[in-house]
Amino acid sequence: MAVNFTDIEEAHGRIAHLIAKTPLLNSPRLDAIAGRRLWLKAEPLQITGSFKFRGACSAISTLSDEARSRGVIAYSSGNHAQGIALAATLFKTRATIVMPHDAPANKVANTRAYGADVVHYERGVESREDIGADLAKKHGLTLIKPYDDPAVIAGQGTVGLELSDQIAELGLSVSAVLCCCGGGGLSAGIATAMAATHPDVTLYTVEPEGFDDTARSLSLGKRVANETEQGSICDAIVTPSPGELTFPILKALAGGGYAVSDTQVMRAMRYAFDTLKLVTEPGGAVALAAALFAQDLPPSDDLLVIISGGNVDEAMFTKALTIS
Amino acid sequence: MAVNFTDIEEAHGRIAHLIAKTPLLNSPRLDAIAGRRLWLKAEPLQITGSFKFRGACSAISTLSDEARSRGVIAYSSGNHAQGIALAATLFKTRATIVMPHDAPANKVANTRAYGADVVHYERGVESREDIGADLAKKHGLTLIKPYDDPAVIAGQGTVGLELSDQIAELGLSVSAVLCCCGGGGLSAGIATAMAATHPDVTLYTVEPEGFDDTARSLSLGKRVANETEQGSICDAIVTPSPGELTFPILKALAGGGYAVSDTQVMRAMRYAFDTLKLVTEPGGAVALAAALFAQDLPPSDDLLVIISGGNVDEAMFTKALTIS
């Protein structure tokens, strides 16, 4: 496997002073809806608003002084961009983020506010990979991929390390964790940590309906792709297919995958607002949606649920608040 | 004084297994706006969505078995009601909550969902005190006041106890804490905890403009009343005047008071959404508003800010998200 538990512990040692140890929230009102106790790992409260900051710090912290003196590059218009931007600033290197020219203004502004240079490309005309490769070559930048990077997976796995402590502290009776899944970095990291510390706890992935490449890949035992990447409100977790490094880990450790509808996701966002007082983005709320609304959930007394991020704009959030 | 530090430690011993230890959040983007590091105690993440659950658990936990067998009563349409309702359920007693007949439906529903009986009165025609006194006498119920009760103040003081640990854990360089203030239970409790554990940290109250009875009372050295209780969006923290038990504590320990406008409060709510991913109610966001926008703030390197609650309806929250 690309990552083992020692890698996660070492990543934690490198980044613990920078990241927030996020709380495991509980709400009696949500429990009543779910019919059991839900414990919600609140990564919207992570610095930069999502778990991506963990992997970004982990990856950049492994770079040599010489590589840091040249800088890093990433392609993203979302959470990975913001995580890399701030992590680069904190590790005193320079980040270049390649974003489509029509990326939302607030995401561009946030990424710049965290200290990164933003380079635009014209979606459909230019290739971000080509632009990135040119810049990387010209300036000697290190590319940091969003999930197919062992140091990134190990960084996301620190969520699992914290969960492991929290399960013990709270004395939870738990055998399952539901986790949103895009490329699989977070799921693979958490599954690796659980296998080492709580082998009785199985991870299940959750994706948007129609974009459940991981669930289908787990069923088939091989990586299959989504038919399209367009059309989900959960943009943050729609990827072409499971990662090359992440899928073998999930194939070995995950119990299977669930899929939820956009309406279920928005209802979950509204419940998170109302009962947890937490701002969630659509892609960050899929596991909560599954915990509340999915059929055939694992029979765990307490259920762990990963809420992965809260970087949502006012229009989308307001729309979720009006869902019935 | 009505409450000392030992009372707070004892309250903590009685309720620690029921309450959430809420995180102290930080956001580099908020720091950039404030021009220094802000550390935000996130009580919206407390069970029932506000700090009031602490005082409610503390007060009910002191009751004799015989008093618990009869039940408790409270007047409130808001956070105190929800806190008392759930605390009563957890301590296996029965809560009756006296609410105006026109209280928002969701607050009535939440209070009932936590297990309380709701009794309505007609605002402007009937006196809630008379109705409550009648019910209390008839059924032998114990009245739990929202702030002028030593056990309630001690319960709210557990916020200060947690802050004290968090200041030490994070190694903060802090000399001031900003705290929203209604009747003063939370402020008095935190000030008492700080005086015992971090005497170099001074508490300052924050209230809505036009409803700054505590700030004016602190200036004058005696309790003075608000001219009206109507017209603020910060309904949760508008009270007639500082409490009889809470004011002597604040007079002895607080450094003074700030006042913020409704617009500043809504802008703070929007920043909390955008940077902290935290849902705040207007009364819960006044101290953040002061930290971001008030003049003549204390010259503390790090600044502690109490965000006290997040029980806000969709309409008010959506309004705050559209403020410029």
* ipTM of the complex in this document: 0.95
Rounded average pLDDT per 10-residue block, chain B, 324 residues: 97 97 96 96 97 98 97 91 97 94 84 94 82 90 96 98 97 96 97 98 97 96 91 88 96 98 98 98 97 95 97 95 91
- Please provide residue B305's backbone torsions phi and psi, each rounded to the nearest 5 degrees: -135, 125
Both structure tokens of A223: 């990586």
Pairwise CA distance, residues B219 & A38, whole Å: 47
- Residue A121: half-sphere exposure toward Cβ, Cα within 13 Å: 20
Q: What confidence category does residue A123 fall into, taking pLDDT thresholds of 50, 70 and 90? A: confident
Q: How distant is the Cα of B219 from the closest Cα of chain A, in angstroms?
A: 35
Each residue of B291-315: pLDDT tens digit? 999 999 999 899 999 999 999 999 9
**pLDDT value of residue A103:** 81
More confident residue, B130 or A97: A97
As a whole number, mean pLDDT of residues A184-190 equals 98
Pairwise CA distance, residues B232 & B211, whole Å: 8
Helix B262-271 vs helix B286-293: angle between axes, to the nearest 10 degrees? 90
Pairwise CA distance, residues B183 & B148, whole Å: 8
Q: What confidence category does residue A129 fall into, taking pLDDT thresholds of 50, 70 and 90? A: confident
> Which secondary-structure segment (H or E) carries B305?
strand B302-307
Whether A320 and chain B come into contact, CB under 8 Å, resolves to no
Contact A93, A64 (CB under 8 A): no
pLDDT score of A202 more than 90: yes
Each residue of A265-293: pLDDT tens digit? 999 999 999 999 999 999 999 999 999 99
pLDDT score of A127 more than 90: no
Which domains, ranges and CATH numbers included, belong to chain B? Answer: 5-50+151-321 (3.40.50.1100), 53-148 (3.40.50.1100)
The residues that bridge with A207 in the sheet, in sequence order, are: A259
Q: How distant is the Cα of B321 from the closest Cα of chain A, in angstroms?
A: 6
**pLDDT value of residue A128:** 81
Whether B47 and chain A come into contact, CB under 8 Å, resolves to yes
Whether B49 and A277 lie within 8 Å, measured CB to CB: yes
Each residue of B250-273: pLDDT tens digit? 999 999 999 999 999 999 999 999
- Nearest Cα to Cα of residue B305 among B219, B204, B195: B204
As a whole number, mean pLDDT of residues A121-142 equals 87
**pLDDT value of residue B103:** 81
**pLDDT value of residue B123:** 78
Each residue of A45-79: pLDDT tens digit? 999 999 999 999 999 999 999 999 999 999 887 89
Contact B190, B203 (CB under 8 A): yes
Whether B27 and A45 lie within 8 Å, measured CB to CB: no
> Which of A23, A27, A277 is nearest residue B23 as measured by Cβ atoms?
A23
Pairwise CA distance, residues B153 & B149, whole Å: 6
**pLDDT value of residue B158:** 98
Pairwise CA distance, residues A185 & A171, whole Å: 27
**pLDDT value of residue A193:** 98
- Please provide residue A195's backbone torsions phi and psi, each rounded to the nearest 5 degrees: -60, -35
**pLDDT value of residue B324:** 84
Each residue of A19-38: pLDDT tens digit? 999 999 999 999 999 999 99
Whether B276 and chain A come into contact, CB under 8 Å, resolves to yes
What's the pTM? 0.96
Each residue of A151-178: pLDDT tens digit? 999 999 999 999 999 999 999 999 999 9
Q: How distant is the Cα of B195 from the closest Cα of chain A, in angstroms?
A: 28
Chain B residues within 8 A of A27 when measuring between CB atoms = 47
Each residue of A227-245: pLDDT tens digit? 888 888 998 888 889 999 9
**pLDDT value of residue A235:** 84
**pLDDT value of residue B101:** 85
**pLDDT value of residue A165:** 97
Contact A159, A306 (CB under 8 A): yes
**pLDDT value of residue B122:** 85
